[in-house]
Amino acid sequence: MTTPKITYILGAGRSGSTVLERLLSSAPDVVGVGEVATLWRQPLSDLTCSCGAPAPECAFWTDVRAKVGFSDSTLRDLAEAE
Ligand SMILES: [Zn+2]
């Protein structure tokens, strides 16, 4: 397994950072994770993955959540902590 390379895109609101993320994540072997730092601010069921699938049904995120043990109660705990 290779170590993934991470590109962090930072920008002010309406600066084009989302467009840049979508452009980059259209390339093979690139995954756009969106605003993952605010993942707990709304129910997972309200989120749509950049692949177009509802977040709870996305194969990528389902695999990630399973590997790191990230459950709905984890999201609630993070929201409460914030
Ligand atoms: Zn997805």
- Domain limits of the chain? 17-81
Instruction: Return the amino acid letter for 29.
Output: D
How remote is the CA of residue 54 from the centroid of ligand 1, in Å? Answer: 7
Query: 49 alpha carbon to ligand 1 midpoint, in Å?
Result: 4
Task: Kindly report the backbone phi and psi dihedral angles of residue 54, in degrees, each rounded to the nearest multiple of 5, phi listed first.
Answer: -60, 140
Residues 6+ apart with CB under 8 A from 29: none
Cα 2 to ligand 1 centroid, rounded to whole Å: 21
Q: What is the pLDDT of residues 20-79, one digit of tens each?
A: 998 998 999 898 888 787 778 877 788 888 778 898 898 988 898 888 888 878 888 988
**Distance of CA 82 from the midpoint of ligand 1 (Å):** 25
Predicted confidence (pLDDT) per residue in 44-56, tens digit: 788 888 778 898 8
